[in-house]
Amino acid sequence: MLPPLPTLRIFEAAARRQSFLLAAGELHLTPGAVSKQIRQLELHLGQPLFERLHRQVRLTPAGHAYGLAIGRIFDDLRTATAQASAAPAPDTLVLWCAPWFLKAWLLPRLDGFRSLYPGVQLDIRTGDSSDTIDPQAVIAIRLGLGTWPRMRHELLVAQEIAAVCTPGYLRRKGLIPPLRFGDIVVLDSANTPHHLDLWKQAAGLERETPRERILFQSNETAFAAALSDHGLALVNPHFVAKQLAEGRLICPWRAVTKTDRNYWLTWAKGFDLPPVARTFRKWLLREFRGQKMEVSLP
């Protein structure tokens, strides 16, 4: 007998995210509900699918193999759903975009695209996870390793980390270079808790502790707090190049480091992009070719 489909959906999310907590957030459930459904599935199959470690879970070999198989099935379901859905008008492009890329890079350039291609109607969708995008999206800008199955990938830009704040924050706190990291308030994101340690290592500050670390739910809210003179935020310098050049933001430390993730343009293998999607792709790649990718930190 097959397990219930809702249980398999929960397992697929937990296996893909390698986390009961992240799966719960994606599916709008509690971590306890996810854990209970996974346990029932393990009882149904007669073997463990996850190792329960301290504050984390890890797929067993059986869980890894089962996760790959179930993931392919759900990918097929998403594709079939998209194909069965009513097709958008020929001049409409349904685009999925990672939220930070959308807000920081794409939105400031949308007027330029619309002035060049006034006949293209954009339907832009977003979400918390680049692993689960809207099935109706023809093309997507995603953050990840570039390993999504049965997808074509084109690299757009690396996910880099620099630490920025406003001159107003330093003035308000009476901080004068050279700065001590112990005097700084860090505005961090719960979505990327490891970024602070990565950046501190690049800056040679591994042993230093900030005066205060304020945790926000997302990178966007942490950055908004930095713009309001509340402290130091970790951002991709490519996304704030204009603010840096104009002096609205500064980098008290010049360290920049990369994560293991990048921003990619993706679409399904074997799928011929419609004309509006090809138009958007060409414009997007042209924008990146024209943009100086080595950001100069003031």
My answer on whether 206 and 250 are in the same domain is: yes
Residue 267 located in a structural domain? yes
- Segment 4-8 shows an average pLDDT of 93
My answer on whether 126 and 180 are in the same domain is: no
pLDDT in tens, 206-230: 999 999 999 998 888 999 999 999 9
pLDDT in tens, 107-132: 999 999 999 999 999 999 998 778 77
Residue 295 located in a structural domain? no
Q: What is the CATH number of the domain that holds 137?
A: 3.40.190.10
Residue 119 located in a structural domain? yes
* Predicted confidence band of residue 294 (pLDDT cuts 50, 70, 90): very low
pTM assigned to the model: 0.72
pLDDT in tens, 17-73: 889 988 898 888 999 999 999 999 999 999 999 999 888 899 999 999 999 999 888
- The total domain count for the chain is 3
Using H for helix, E for strand and C for coil, what is the string for the chain? CCCCHHHHHHHHHHHHHCCHHHHHHHHCCCHHHHHHHHHHHHHHHCCCCEEEECCEEEECHHHHHHHHHHHHHHHHHHHHHHHHCCCCCCCEEEEEECHHHHHHHHHHHHHHHHHHCCCCEEEEECCCCCCCCCCCCCEEEEEECCCCCCEEEEEEEEEEEEEEECHHHHHHHCCCCCCCHHHCEEEEECCCCCHHHHHHHHHCCCCCCCCEEEEECCHHHHHHHHHCCCCEEEECHHHHHHHHHHCCCECCCCCEEEEEEEEEEEEECCCCCCHHHHHHHHHHHHHHHHCCCCCCCC
Q: Which residue range(s) make up the domain with 226?
A: 159-260
Asked if pLDDT for residue 292 goes beyond 60, the answer is no
Residue 154 located in a structural domain? yes
Residue 296 located in a structural domain? no
Residue 297 located in a structural domain? no
Domain boundary (27, 62, 84) is at 84
Residue 238 located in a structural domain? yes
